[in-house]
Structure 1
């Protein structure tokens, strides 16, 4: 069954310009980082200025974080954190073939991209503001721990708990993609002024990269925005 996320109305009240592309991929053949995936990371680091709207898009995410009380200078969105690392080190760490792929696209498009193991989800991924106290599994100084999220914080969660804190700042450990993961859910999250067409292009590049790993991979896409909060199916 395809993963179909839910976006709660309070998210569009915070950011009416929010749009997301949801991609559910099955029969993915992940593996260790290879020359192709590491080449994508190197290319992304050399193309930081290729998207003319990149800095403005990241600034929109900073404003979005402030809207629910987060401090983006301390906890930046995932795309900004990767970009800062690429600017500082002129390199990005290799993790595995799939994570390398979507990290490279995140930097190239200045676009937060989350990748999750679809098989461990309990119910639909849901984007909402936290009541406060929901559990989030993470690691601090090499030790597993459970954090309680803040009231009003924007989170992704399922029936078991929080899967990503502060919209797209930090992913939990339970849903991470490993080399043995074969069913995956990705969410690509966009604000103004990033063009919708560029969001769709990033999604197409992600699917092409997954098909490189296994031509028999199957993917379904949903486009979600304020006018279509339950998603419009996209052909691919």
Structure 2
């Protein structure tokens, strides 16, 4: 199925209540279509698994250099996200943002999932930026970042069984027309929109707060886009930056 990437991104929104919480927040959305499933699974014949593993090893080395002589929570962008979590009532010691969680695992080895997931995890760690990837075809309407009412459904699993949870009122969540796709800004994604071995179109969300600059955000997106372009012969990519004060799609 061909996806209108531009139309999908043009519908994306960050509500004003989120920007009121953190006016420095920026979301860079990268939508991609034309991925070849064989190129994004470990038994594909394209060599992508080897490439993704090399990226993860490089990311582990970059994390070791960044953390030499200091704790993960002292990294400037990690510290900024901890402050953002506290601002909506979350405890960062218990619910760590995705970048911090990966950085803490880097010393013992980053997880190997599949090339598509491994690539974006490597970029997340290398650039110290929360980065999520989801199956665009599983979305019901465009993505929106909101302060939750507390009634929105979040389809997840517990003890291997499907369950429906609900965010806390005021919690920052990504959602679509069916419910929450990611809780606590960038903490836990829903399996409903998760990447699978058959994914051919995907959405990647790169989250930035000061002191991460626009140039650093673009550099992370550029690296991710370059890796994704190798995962299919007809890969198409579109991106959109959402920030406070923007008049609309661009």
TM class by shorter-chain length? over 0.9
Cα separation, 2, equivalents of 1:215 and 1:203: 20
Partner of 2:195: 177
Cα RMSD for the two superposed structures: 1.7
SS at match of 1:42: helix
Higher helix content, 1 or 2? 2
1:51 Cα shift? 6.3
Partner of 1:108: 126
Partner of 1:35: 50
- Indicate whether 1:23 and 2:54 are aligned: no
Change (3 A) 1:50 1:23: farther
1:179-194 superposed matches below 5 A: 179-194=197-212
Partner of 1:159: 177
TM-score (norm 2): 0.88
Cα separation, 1, equivalents of 2:243 and 2:224: 20
Q: Identify which of 146, 160, 164 aligns with 1:128.
A: 146
- Indicate whether 1:10 and 2:17 are aligned: yes
- Indicate whether 1:63 and 2:83 are aligned: yes
1:110-136 CA distance string (max 9 Å, x none): 101111111111111100000012111
1:145-165 CA distance string (max 9 Å, x none): 111111000000011010000
- Indicate whether 1:93 and 2:93 are aligned: no
TM-score (norm 1): 0.93
Count of paired positions: 230
Is contact 1:114-1:186 (8 Å) kept? yes
Is contact 2:34-2:233 (8 Å) kept? no
Cα separation, 2, equivalents of 1:190 and 1:50: 21
1:168 Cα shift? 0.4
Cα separation, 1, equivalents of 2:247 and 2:181: 20
What are the ranges of 5 or more consecutive residues in structure 2 without an aligned counterpart? 43-48, 68-73
Cα separation, 1, equivalents of 2:64 and 2:83: 21
What are the ranges of 5 or more consecutive residues in structure 1 without an aligned counterpart? none
Change (3 A) 1:166 1:125: same
